[in-house]
Structure 1
Amino acid sequence: MAELVSPQAIDRMLADAQASGVPLDGTDGLINQLTRAVIERALGAEMDDHLGYVKGDSAGNGSGNSRNGHFGKTVTTTAGPVRIQVPRDRNSDFEPKIVPKRTRRLGQIDDIILSLYARGMTTRDIQAHLKEVYGADTSPELISRITDVVHEEIVEWQTRPVDPVYPILYIDALVVKIREGGVVDNRAAHLVVGVDMEGFKHVLGIWIQDKEGARFWGSVLTELRNRGLNDALIVCCDGLAGLPEAIEQVWPEAKVQTCVVHLIRTSMRFVSYGDRKTIAKALKPIYTAVNEAAAKAALENLRREHGKRYPGVIAAWERAWQQFIPFLEFEPELRKVIYSTNTIESINFQLRKITKNRGHFPDTDAAMKLLYLGVRNITGRHIDGTGLVRERGERGTGTYGWKRALNALAVRFGDRLPL
């Protein structure tokens, strides 16, 4: 490129533009004019290739097809709206590639729209942004149609094959508001995140459901099994109705572990602000205990000291006790990894940021579209034309201390870990 456009040539263009009062950017700027010139030159080259001869060449005599003028067309580019002249041929079978027929947007405009949408901007926000930055006139309906192109990608992503074994699964939910029958209702959008053998986290799918229960979770987990997930060693979740029963049905050997951080947060809801440090200190001996007996003794000590004032704290731990105690069986290296669903909560936190601007969604498909784009943006992953997951940049988020945890997993679940 440096050889094609020398610094001297660029200096001359800039000097001519300055002398004639032409701005650098904007709809009438130098960059816009250069964009138009490059596009029209490329279209001319495409026409030469289509006809088999260049303009003015006698080889075109009697060839059966020839040039037939131009027609004007305005396309939106990152340099702003550009008015170009598209060549025509007499047989009307010229199919330009750089500016395909019926195409009104070039370059990265569609990618920009998808990126802005995935970051939580509404269609009207995007419309205003494109007008302000690129001078492009768009409509909310057009933006919505552009974002709709991901529907097929969502289906491929939601049904793609997954690994046969994930040592750890995290399952959690966030609430989205969806309008149905003229009424806005809260729905739970459930995310399942798997940690693979190398410690990388993968969002395996999103499921939106108004009611949880064993039947719903049975269908979700069976779907994952049908996609190739034959076993999960540890499933870390938090108080999702019917989930433990469904896990036992689909992966009977999996260990179900409640999120300890969730349990602590639930406890703190019953505690006045002034006593939070005291209660937090009293809770620590429970979840750092060496075994269940020591944890039970710590819970009884908490009951004696604070049970009368904060019975809700005691009740929260007793309700979750059966899903909490598997945590105490694990080595310290594993405890650090499965201590909480913060892995998935960090994703949920970012998804909440992009959904809060919506207020509510017109239907489930609209909610799924935004959540998927958000996940795609967060994880840097997409589906290519072959239906396979491809990485855009880094492979994904790793798990801190994974090698130590993997060694502990190998000791405990060695016969179930793939080689």
Structure 2
Amino acid sequence: MTQLQFNLDFDQIKAEVMQSDLNDVLKSSIVVLFNQYMEMERDKYMKNTSHERSEDRHDYRNGYYTRDLIVNVGKVTLKVPRTRSGEFSTAIFEKYQRCDKAFLLSMLEMVISGVSTRKVSKIVEQLCGENVSKSMVSELTKKLDPIVNSWTQKPLDRQYYNYIYVDAMYIKVREYHRVVSKAVYIALGVNSQDKREILGFKVAGNESQKTWNEFFESLIARGLQPPKLVISDAHEGLKAAIMEKFLNVSWQRCTVHFLRNIIQTIPKKGSKEAREHLKEIFKAPTQTISRMLKDEFIVKFEEDKKYIKAIETLDAGYEDAIQFYAEDKDTHVHIRTTNVLERLNSEVRKRESIIRIFPNEESAFRLIGAVLMDREETMDIGGKKFFYRTKD
């Protein structure tokens, strides 16, 4: 391949250095370099240099036009050579168009990471001297649609998921000139290799058995098989949907939520001993010890009217809260609560707290999906696993 060689105008670069800050120096150097490179590209195309006569001439130089190019140090304006026939074209823009793509991706990453569109606009203006409106940033985020949609339709029949965590969080969305509350359903699975995957999510009007059924149906349609255990809180609609859509599957009631429900029935004053006892019930190393601690709690406090409701609540929900004991001991600390999903929800909250109110349901789906995709990439990467298995 023919190599292009040329000499830079160092006097021009020196003059720029003496009169500019570092960023301007870099930009000016790039302009000189790229302009001269394009000039030599045209000379090669013409097979002669400027003012050189040749019998083989097949085109004529026709001046220049200006065109902007975004590079790492910002936007530069170049003098692009042209010919009369219009057949000559430089490879500079084709070669460096990835800079534009990288720049757009950086903007998207800022948005996904929780930087508001207003702040993104200011950052871009500082970097490039280019005024980028909030609406432009919002339009840019729509490029995420096909990516998020594809991710939410990934097949789920290539792995078996032993454990599935499900939960809903609430966001605010504008709808018909009103601000309404919407539920965001999220499902996370732990596969047979003990690695976590986000199975899917859905934005819906409210949390009910009907909407949970629809969410589970969408996962099953993508190939999800009934797991060994479904872990969630005790929302009535969710419980009913789990029983309907996952027959013969055990349900683990989140012990953190369950304890909270029990403790809320106890007066705060003078109840420290009772509260500590309740916590030990679900931290017990075996189911036998847990049942013993539960029975001791009932015997100890059943004569005190202040604890009647707490005992009733404990007795009614206890069996659903100890299903984790049937699984391998190394998994207990992780599968007895929905803490892993709560942490995932907090990542969404970081972005949601900046936006406060999503402009529509589509934008909520788009950005929450992007956040979840970004989070999944860092889950249990390489040889890392969710469960720490002790050697026998």
Normalised by the length of structure 1, the TM-score is 0.76
Q: Which residue of 2 aligns with 1:83?
A: 77
1:250 to 226, 245, 248: 245
The alpha-carbon deviation at position 24 of structure 1 amounts to 0.7
Among 135, 150, 154, the alignment partner of 1:156 is 150
**Counterparts of 1:94 and 1:378, CA distance in 2:** 46
| One-letter identity of the residue aligned with 2:330 | E
8 Å Cα contact 1:77-1:107 kept in structure 2: no
Give the drift of 1:132: 3.0
Task: Establish whether residue 16 from structure 1 lines up as the match of residue 14 from structure 2.
Answer: yes
One of 333, 337, 347 as aligned partner of 1:340: 337
Residue 112 (structure 1) aligned with residue 99 (structure 2): no
Cα distance, 1:80 vs structure 2: 2.3
Where does residue 214 of structure 2 map in the other structure?
219
- Provide the C-alpha distance between the structure 2 equivalents of 1:313 and 1:53, rounded to a whole number of angstroms: 92
Per-residue deviation, residues 329-365 of structure 1 (Å, max 9, x unmatched) = 3343231230211111111112111111112111111
State the number of aligned residues.
378
**Cα 1:315–1:173, aligned 2, differ >3 Å: closer, same or farther?**
farther
Q: How far apart in 2 are the matches of 1:142 and 1:104?
A: 19
State the alpha-carbon separation in 2 of the partners of residues 115 and 332 from structure 1.
39
Q: 2 CA distance for matches of 1:196 and 1:257? A: 17
- Following the alignment from structure 1 to structure 2, what is the Cα–Cα distance between the partners of residues 23 and 283? 66
Does the 8 A contact of 1:44 with 1:87 survive in 2? Answer: yes
| Pairs within 5 Å for 1:159-238 | 159-162=153-156, 163-238=158-233
Equivalent pair of 1:169/1:192 in contact (CA under 8 Å): yes
Written as runs of structure 1 = structure 2, the 5 A alignment for 1:262-277 is 262-270=257-265, 277=272
Equivalent residue letter for 1:32: K
2:356 matched to which residue of 1? 359
**Separation of aligned partners in 1, 2:103 and 2:258:** 45
Q: CA deviation at 1:38?
A: 4.9
Q: Distance in 1 between matches of 2:367 and 2:239?
A: 29
The 1:76–1:328 alpha-carbon spacing in structure 2 relative to 1, beyond 3 Å, is same
Alignment partner of 2:200: what SS? strand
Give 2:31's match in structure 1, choosing from 31, 36, 45. Answer: 36
2:140 to 132, 139, 146: 146
The 8 Å contact of residues 281 and 291 in structure 2, kept in 1 or not, is answered as no
2:236 counterpart SS class? coil
Give the corresponding residue for 1:300: 298
Q: Is the 8 A contact 1:192 1:205 kept in 2?
A: yes
Q: Following TM superposition, by how much is the alpha carbon of 1:376 offset from its aligned partner in structure 2, in angstroms? A: 2.8
2:183 counterpart letter in structure 1: A
- Paired AA for residue 213 in structure 1: S
Largest Rg, 1 or 2: 2
> What is the identity, as a one-letter code, of the residue corresponding to 1:376?
M
Which residue number corresponds to residue 4 of structure 1?
none
Partner of 1:281: 276
Change (3 A) 1:290 1:220: same
Aligned to 1:69: 63
Asked if 1 retains the 8 angstrom alpha-carbon contact of 2:321 and 2:336, the reply is no
* Partner Cα distance (1:275, 1:134) in 2: 63
CA contact (8 A) 2:114 2:351 kept: yes
**What is aligned with 1:398?**
385
Q: Deviations over 1:63-104 (max 9, x none)?
A: 5x665433223344441232222344545566766536xx89
Cα RMSD for the two superposed structures? 3.8
The alpha-carbon deviation at position 281 of structure 1 amounts to 1.3
Alignment of 1:88-99 (within 5 A): 88-90=82-84, 92=86, 99=93
Q: Compared with structure 1, are the counterparts of its residues 367 and 96 closer, same or farther at alpha carbon in structure 2 (3 Å cutoff)?
A: farther
Write the letter of the residue equivalent to 2:140: I
Which AA in structure 2 matches 1:398? K
The aligned residue for residue 417 of structure 1 is none
Q: Deviation at 1:140? A: 0.6
Deviation for aligned residue 1:320: 3.5
Structure 2 gap ranges (5+): 1-7
- Is this contact kept in 2: 1:286–1:298, CA < 8 A? no
Q: Deviations over 1:36-71 (max 9, x none)?
A: 34554666687789x5968669899465x6654332
* Alpha-carbon offset, residue 17 of structure 1: 6.2
For 1:204, the aligned partner's letter is L
1:237–1:259 Cα contact (<8 Å) kept: yes
Query: 1:229 aligns to what SS in structure 2?
Result: coil
Structure 1, unmatched stretches of 5+, are 1-8, 382-390, 408-419
Name which of structure 1's ranges 226-235 and 189-198 shifts more when overlaid on structure 2. Answer: 226-235
User: Which residue does the alignment assign to 1:3?
Assistant: none
Secondary structure, counterpart of 1:145 in structure 2: helix
Match of 1:369 in 2: 366
| 1:293–1:271 Cα change, 3 Å | closer
**Would you say 1:130 and 2:124 are equivalent positions?**
yes
Q: Secondary structure at the match of 1:245?
A: helix
Answer whether contact 1:174 1:352 (CA < 8 A) is retained: no
SS at match of 2:314: helix
- Match of 2:100, SS? coil
